[in-house]
Structure 1
Amino acid sequence: MTLRALFLAVLAAYSANSLANVVPPTLGDFGGVGLMQTPSARMLPAGSVAIGTSKVEPYGRLAMTLQPFDWLEAVYRYTSVSTVKYAADPTGKQSNKDKSFDLKVRLTQETRRLPEISVGLRDIGGTGLFSGEYIVANKRWNDLDFSLGLGWGYMGKRGDIENPLGWIYSGFRDRPSSFDSQGGKVALTSFFRGPAALFAGVQWQTPWKPLILKLEYEGNNYKNETGGPTVKQDRPFNIGLTYRHSDYLAFNIGWERGNTLLFGINFTGDFSPRRGVPRKVSDPAPVPVRPDNSRPAIANDWPEIVRQIEDNAGIKVQKITRRNRELVVKGEHKRYLYTAAALGRTARIIDAQAAADIDWITLSETHSGVPVLETSIKRDTFRKTLQQDASLGDLRRTVEQVNALPRREEEVFAKKDEVEFDWGFAPGYNQNLGGPDAFVLYQLTANLDAQLRLSENTWIDGLMSFNLYNNFDKFTYTAPSNLPRVRTYLREYMISSDVIMPRLQLNHVKRMNSDWYAMAYGGFLESMYAGVGGEILYRPLNSNLALGFNLNWVKQRGFKQDFALRDYSVVTGHASAYFRNIVPTLAPGLNLTLSAGRYLAKDLGVTFDVSKEFDNGVRMGAWATFTNVSAEQFGEGSFDKGFYISLPFDLMTTASTRRWANIVLQPLTRDGGARLNRGPTLYEITEGRNVDFFHKNFSSILQ
């Protein structure tokens, strides 16, 4: 072998190894994957959620990073500027707060020869203090990950490169000011305009796995800086390290601008289906298969069967009936997140005790007394699958799912009384972020919820909340408003009483036919409003489209959230279209909801709600509302918007549960675009008609 051939062989082997030795992505100062001040083309795994904080004087940042798809990163960020006072703070004690939002899209994935390339927008729709755009490429070489990018705006202030887009159109050579004191406006005319600057960096995964070293060259020259003239740059190079204590916790230390210390902490969680769930050691063991593989001659103790189904399968049984050679269990899920798990446990119990001539086992699912869906499986195939004599695919092919329509019942083996009473205690947490009184205002509560079911379709539910601890003593600021005060009395509602009644509501729900549902309700519908209303919903089975309409007359409640009412009243309602999985190839699980109508401040407009739903039930979404209220009349923020994450507790607990953790981030509480926060809605009640969710988690039928 010649020396040249040997060199090429070694180089090829080293290059092949370079893609295998992955330098893990780390989070930058602004949130999102990057080095320190500069972003990279890398992404976290889809389904990741990261919360990080960094301190580089005079800036303190708190950011949440969401990764709904492997090609899309979204960042929501608060920035505190210690050298500038918050204009809305009447005491002058609090530093300025800036709220902003970033997006990054991956254009290409890395290959053996080509880099990974992403394009991004920083500080969209904020005040524009840190707004900038960039395109960046990354390439790995063994334990090194190199990045090279071109930045505009805040990331390109050095301006040492003529904007290459100016060769296409001269208008790209100048950048209009994107600063807006109110924030909330997207400065489209500033994107990728003005002078540009190169930025670059490298990450080294050291031989000690927890430690990653970073070096970057940034494109910002820190002239005319938001933090004032005291912010100076001695050198454009930043150096730092990341210590990964675990897959969930990392610490950042660095030296930036040649004169300033960086310190940061990041928490990262993987909520995708890749992440395993805790073993359900607190769940009851499933009923074993009959050892002799036979069918009993007759079922003797139906009350005992009902008890087992409720205790073991988590189904609140309403009725057990027979239809020819089919046994039907009608009831509502109370424990298991996945319908397939409840169906499998129910089928075990029925198979062990049902009569010999029963061939099909059916779960007729209801919610709030409304029939939602019937799912049937073949008894013998189910037993063979448990005994590994048939495959899961064989069992899936026996599944039949139909509308739960009234049908003739030959025998009724068990039936529950319609009048029932349930109650329970649960902890609660309330917060308000970024106000002039304190960066975080929070409250811990103990919540008592109760439900009295008067009939199969009619019930009363209520909620009492008891204050345990809060820092509301700092809450002295009532936001100004140019509209009717439908939400900006937030301070008064939060501090007026330690014992409140957020909800006391009478509900009646009815299925009109196979695909139409209707609901009427009245009472104290949420913490700020009482009234009456109604809703109708068209939701066909196996359809990705649903249509709904609701209309409400509501009156503002007293600040103590007791039985008192204030003078303000309004008629509000919306027509809504729900689209599921709208781009299944490019963005599987992407859902869109469009709602148009009248809001609480009597403004008219449209709300766009976009979310990604993962196979395990996790949802990440954002909404924006645009009404006939101008940005000036709306006030700070310009329009209503926010972000949310819905996490099933089942992914985090050792006991199966259908409870959810809902995290909502709303930059500002304003009066424009405000909606009634009632619940539950018909779309939520009929969520069991989402048969895709059933089949994606079908394997849980064997648990």
Structure 2
Amino acid sequence: MHPFDAAAHVEETIAAPMYLGDWLAARQPTPAVGTSSSETPSPYLSGLSWRSGREVAAQQANKRRLIAGIEALPAPTPAAQAARARFSAMVAARPATGRVVVPRTDGRWLQANPASDPRLEAGDIVTIPDRSSTVTVVRADGSTCTVAHAQDVEALQYVLACDPAATPDVAWIAQPDGTVSENKVAAWNRDAQDTPAPGSWIWAPDRGSRWTPALSRALAEFLATQGVSEPTGDGAPPHAPRIAPRHQTEFLTGAPTRSAAFPVTGGDWGTAGILQTPTARMNDAGEASLSMSHVSPYTRLNFALQPLDWLEIGFRYTDVSNQPYGPVSLSGTQSYKDKSIDAKIRLWRESAYLPDVAVGFRDIAGSGLFSGEYLVASKRTGPFDWSVGLGWGYMGARGNLRNPLSMISRRFDDRANSATPNGGELGYGSWFRGRVSPFGGVQYQTPDERLILKAEYDGNDYRHEPFGQVLKERSPFNFGAVYRATRNIDLSVGFERGTRVMFGVSLHGNLKRATMPKLGNPPPVPVTQPAANAGPRTHAAGAPTRGGRSAVASTPRIEGASPSPFDRDWSDTVAQLQAQTNWHVRSIRALGMDLVIEFDDVDAFYLQDQIDRIATILNRDAPLNVRTFHVVALTHGVPVADYQVQRTQWFASRTRALVPSEVAPATTLGRPLTNQSIDMLPPLFEQRPRAFVLSVGPGYQQTLGGPNGFLLYQISANAYGELRMPGGAWLGGELNVGLVDNYGKFTYTADSKLPRVRTYLREYLTTSRVTLPLLQLTKIGRLGNDQFYSVYGGLLESMFAGVGVEWLYRPAHSRLAIGVDVNAVRQRGFRQDFSMRGYKTLTGHVTAYWDTGWQGVQINLSVGQYLAKDKGATLDISRRFRNGVVIGAYATKTNVSPAQFGEGSFDKGIYVTIPFDAMMTRSSSSIANLRWNPVTRDGGAKLDRRYPLYDLTDMGERRSLWYAPPDGAVSP
């Protein structure tokens, strides 16, 4: 072992297998005797390179594809052809090194984290270069330019040092540690970015070049395999980086300012905008905000969601302070509350020369009092973001331009009144009609990243406000500022209409990044080699190292394999499995070289962490001839998922860092076994299922925007229990006890022209403080491999009791499923006890479930008869994110006219579901369901079934192992 102080540059060919952590720990850097650290060349650990012969072939193939891609680039002139040839030759002259990225270069850390510690094989080469002081820029013709490294200088400045006329939009950085990043560097797209470390490579194709992002990434990844970048070798001194100031303050301080993420802020209406006017900007998918703004006479409570990168949805309540809600006898002194929904769709994404373009609809499915449409474009120039657009309806009420669509048809000259008697209709007959007004503005990011300034020209003159009001306006220009108090809280102030001050506050964050460390879970059991007495004797080609890890063998050789090793006491194994997961073990069975473990009460959303805990214990205790662990998830005794853990691959991934060619899924989802096939296997351990399960917790329900008060609520204590019986049957019940509420104000009962299946909401909420929302006997089972059934009866929900049957066809690994449910129900008494009312009906649906496979989008379509005996269809579209958050919307249209339906015109809503695993410190399969319905009516009302088969079989769907926290770690 040679310590680092033997020479600054270290290169060693590995003679015998060992771990990199051990190799590094034995070579701690120490200064040579009689020298200072400044006099001794220091090894550059950030540039450590591990080259593995196992990766050379794959990297050679990648290199050939890269060269082919370069040679396919258009080259219309002889000069361009020569440059392309030089670039191709540059790549061809460099070797496929087999370099593999090392997660850390701290030997002690690697020893403490074996899953990240690479195993070095004989013939592998480890190099620690001299400390670099330069950065290398690759030019468009394949030549290189060396630039002196400077602290906190970004990639663009190095590029400009080599070519002052360069106009890149993106710079790719291959860091000395082998990682690659894409960085937006132009004035129109600059974002927060990495800075190159000494020894980095930079590739920044000029704007207008034909290099695709995929080809540029392939080049950067190839350069990353070359190790620390080297000087050009022509003897010329390195260039100095060109530090271009981005804010005026830099001329005074002389210090470069780091690029920051460009802010997308909300306006008065909650969605992305300036103040009163929208922009074409979109947040990242998953963004959500809750905001409130006040500019007299309007106070708006806004909710905004970004389910897709190109789609923004907003909904709100607007308080009109100078307009009463209704007669004093109905609503007292409460002011009017308006409900509305917005949508904005991006039509074109911004580029160097073209802006973001979006079309939007305000109050698209509300009362229509504030309805309007717009087309808007946004373009960024450094810290300024400019927007300009045309507004129709409320947004273009100034009406100082003729509608440009009138050139197509004179029908666009006139706009009908957008307000509808019942509200909630789309009102497409008035879209983009009538005179228009331009609007626009600018947002300026000050040098203080917390402060954003805004100015706009408003297209509304406020002379045509709802209820015939005319608001005083002295100026069409509005001015404001946003102060980002924290990463998730914005405070806004503005001066609007030349007469009014605006105040606002916004709470925002990205739901797809929601996560919580599982500090409440038991500490995981350390990964160890199987016990010597777990099975037949094995031979490994190399001696074990620390922690029981073998330096060579990842697949043990078996001698004398026989069923006898299964004959052991599994009680301790079962106890640890249950303690680690809180899942109930039903049985352990032998299946040749496989081990089958059945679990009830599978209580986790992020399953992979729990499966890893199970595999850790089974790997330690199972006979050595067992190759696969089958973790079978049962739902009330019915197998719905078979998670298959390949023992060798799993153990390798948990005890060392794998090279890319070795990476493969250790856990896969197989077709679920049937009860009959499981029962035929010899049992090694069996125990009875839990007979009774009880959970107690708080409950909350509310109604928003009603005439008796904007917020009516109840806080309650809720108990849920299950009495389980053999054969997939159980009795589930729920008891609710109201504790605190203001339902004493709830006196309004909406009228209805349909059977009153939901509009007795007040009576159900206020008649009794103690209620029994659920008492249902259910039996589920499987009909072959892909079909499931359920039969149920009892108090099915808070308003209806009855009996029903459901059938679901859900092929394993398929994106499609179809289900049918039929229910005969009777309306329950208002006390939610065992009393019944006279109304009876049949209700049921045929439902198609489609996981589109595109950006996590799921589409469900139900067709059938609803509780009020109306017939129609419900369309539900949702976006699922990897941490399990779902953003969705639904709409139901039946053979009921808007006049019969009443307020709202048809049933619709928006919802967000968040798994408890993303919010709680302990694993849980529970889900928080946040649902917004503008109004509760009788048309399009479905039976609220507690146990749909599609939900009960969800663990067997293809995404169950895909769900994971955004940080990739669950266990403490």
Q: Normalising by structure 2, what TM-score? A: 0.69
- Give the whole-Å Cα distance in 2 for the aligned partners of 1:102 and 1:160: 24
Contact 1:217 1:237 in 2 (8 A): yes
Give the whole-Å Cα distance in 2 for the aligned partners of 1:454 and 1:400.
Answer: 28
Native 8 Å contact 1:123 1:130 kept in 2:
yes
1:689 Cα shift?
A: 2.1
Structure 1 residue 370 corresponds to structure 2 residue 610: no
1:507 pairs, out of 758, 772, 778, with 778
Shift of 1:230: 5.0
Conserved 8 A contact 2:606-2:917: no
* Residues 378-399 of structure 1: per-residue CA shift (max 9 Å, x gap): 2122111100154696341673
Q: Which of 572, 584, 591 lines up with 1:323 in the alignment?
A: 591
Cα contact 2:188–2:379 (8 A) shared by 1: no
Q: Which runs of 5+ in 1 are unaligned?
A: none
What pairs up with 1:604-643 in 2 under 5 angstroms? 604-643=871-910
Deviates most, 48-57 or 338-347: 338-347
Mean alpha-carbon deviation: is it higher for 387-396 or for 214-223? 387-396
Residue of structure 1 aligned with 2:711, choices 419, 422, 440 = 440
Report the alpha carbon displacement of residue 227 of structure 1 after superposing the two structures with TM: 5.6
Q: Tell me the distance in 2 between the aligned counterparts of 1:277 and 1:670.
A: 36
Could you tell me which of 315, 318, 322 is aligned with 1:76?
315
Q: How does 1:291-302 map to 2 (within 5 A)?
A: 291=529, 296-297=534-535, 298=565, 300-302=568-570
Please state how far the C-alpha of 1:357 moved relative to its aligned partner: 1.9
Match of 1:251 in 2: 491
SS in structure 2 at match of 1:551: strand
| CA distance 1:211–1:295, change in 2 (3 Å) | farther
Report the Cα offset of residue 629 of structure 1: 1.2
Residue 550 to residue 24, structure 1, CA distance change in 2 (3 Å): same
Could you say what secondary structure the match of 2:388 adopts?
strand
By how many angstroms is 1:508 displaced? Answer: 0.3
Compute the displacement of 1:170 (Å). 2.4
Tell whether the 8 Å contact from 1:315 to 1:342 is kept in structure 2 after alignment.
Answer: no
CA contact (8 A) 1:342 1:701 kept: no
Work out whether residues 361 and 373 of structure 2, in 8 Å CA contact, stay in contact via their aligned partners in 1: yes
Q: Give distance in 2, aligned partners of 1:296 and 1:561.
A: 57
Amino acid at match of 2:319: S
Query: In the alignment, which of 614, 619, 624 is matched to residue 346 of structure 1?
Result: 614
3-state SS of 2:677 partner: coil
One of 606, 627, 633 as aligned partner of 1:359: 627
What is the CA distance between 1:88 and its match in structure 2? 7.2
The question of whether the paired residues in 1 share the 8 Å contact of 2:589 and 2:684 is answered with: yes
In 2, Cα distance between the equivalents of 1:514 and 1:291?
36
Are 2:715 and 1:545 equivalent residues in the alignment? no
Give how far 1:51 is off: 1.0
Q: How big is the shift at 1:416? A: 2.1
Q: Is 1:450–2:721 an aligned residue pair?
A: yes
Residues 603, 672 of structure 1: 8 Å contact kept: yes
Once the two structures are TM-superposed, the CA of residue 92 in structure 1 deviates from its matched residue by: 4.7
Alignment partner, residue 594 of structure 1: 861
Q: Hey, what's the Cα distance between the residues in 2 that align with 1:249 and 1:389?
A: 40
Contact residue 615 and residue 693 of structure 1 kept, 8 A? no
- Equivalent residue in structure 2 for 1:182, among 422, 434, 437: 422
RMSD: 2.3
AA aligned to 1:523 is G
> Which residue is equivalent to 1:396?
665
Are 1:221 and 2:461 matched, yes or no?
yes
Give 1 or 2 for the bigger CA radius of gyration.
Answer: 2
Q: Does the alignment pair 1:204 with 2:444?
A: yes
Contact 1:385 1:391 in 2 (8 A): no
Letter in 2 for 1:652: M
- Aligned equivalent of 1:151, options 379, 391, 412: 391
Question: Partner amino acid for 2:783?
Answer: M
Q: Which residue of 2 is the match for residue 270 of structure 1?
A: 510
- Deviation per CA, 1:408-449, whole angstroms, max 9, x where unpaired? 644212222146111111111101011100011111111111
**Contact 2:355–2:379, Cα closer than 8 Å, also in 1:** yes
Q: Counterparts of 1:184 and 1:480 in 2: how far apart (Å)?
A: 17
Task: Give SS of 1:124's match.
Answer: coil
Counterpart of 2:827?
Answer: 556
How far apart are 1:679 and its partner, in Å? 0.8
Q: 3-state SS of the aligned residue for 1:199?
A: strand
Contact 1:309 1:349 (C-alpha < 8 Å) held by counterparts: yes
Letter in 2 for 1:178: S
Check if 1:660 corresponds to 2:927.
yes
8 Å CA contact 2:518–2:971 kept in 1: the answer is no
Contact 2:882 2:962 (C-alpha < 8 Å) held by counterparts: no
Distance 2:609 2:783 in 1: 29
Q: Which amino acid aligns with 2:668?
A: V
Kept in 2, the 8 Å contact 1:88–1:436? The answer is: no
Counterpart amino acid of residue 578 in structure 1: Y
TM-superposed deviation, 1:453? 0.5
> Per-residue CA shift, 1:108-155, capped at 9, x if unaligned?
222222211111111112221111111111111221111111111111
Identity %: 42
Determine if contact 1:343/1:701 at 8 Å carries over to the other structure.
Answer: no
2:267 counterpart residue number: 28
Q: What CA deviation, in whole Å up to 9, does each residue of 1:547-571 have, x standing for no partner?
A: 1111111111111111111111111
Counterpart in the other structure of 2:338:
98
2:677 alignment partner in structure 1: 407
| Alignment partner of 1:127 is 2:367 | yes
Question: What is aligned with 2:518?
Answer: 280
- 2:435 aligns with one of 195, 217, 229: 195
The count of corresponding residues between Structure 1 and Structure 2 is: 692
Mean alpha-carbon deviation: is it higher for 282-291 or for 555-564? 282-291
- Greater shift in the superposed pair: 93-102 or 437-446: 93-102
Q: Distance in 2 between matches of 1:334 and 1:688?
A: 9
Q: Judging changes above 3 Å, is the alpha-carbon distance between structure 1 residues 295 and 347 closer, same or farther for their aligned structure 2 residues?
A: farther
Task: Verify the 8 A CA contact 1:378 1:395 in the aligned structure 2.
Answer: no
Structure 2 unpaired stretches of 5+: 1-159, 170-184, 191-258, 536-564
Query: What amino acid is the match of 2:359?
Result: V
Higher relative contact order (CA 8 A, sep 6+): 1
Q: Does residue 53 of the first structure (1) align with residue 223 of the second (2)?
A: no
Read off the aligned partner of 1:304 and give its amino acid letter: D
Question: Aligned letter for 1:431?
Answer: Q
- Picking from 495, 504, 522, the partner of 2:766 is 495
Counterpart amino acid of residue 336 in structure 1: A
Q: Give 1:71's aligned amino acid.
A: W
Q: 1:139 aligns with which of 379, 403, 407?
A: 379
Paired residue for 1:531?
802
Deviation digits for residues 206-235 of structure 1, max 9, x if unmatched? 222222111111100111211643522111
1:19 counterpart (182, 189, 203): 189
Matches of 2:384 and 2:663 in 1, distance apart? Answer: 48
Q: Which has the higher strand share?
A: 1
| 1:572 is the counterpart of 2:811 | no
CA drift of 1:68 comes to: 0.4
* Residue 648 (structure 2) aligned to one of 344, 367, 380: 380
Contact 1:199 1:216 in 2 (8 A): yes
The 1:222/1:517 distance shift into structure 2, 3 A limit, reads: same
Give distance in 2, aligned partners of 1:102 and 1:284.
45
CA distance in 2, matches of 1:292, 1:549: 48
- CA distance 1:398–1:461, shift in 2 (3 Å): closer
Aligned partner (choices 407, 410, 420) of residue 167 of structure 1: 407
Question: 8 Å contact 2:669–2:958 — kept in the other structure?
Answer: no
Q: Distance in 2 between matches of 1:13 and 1:234?
A: 45
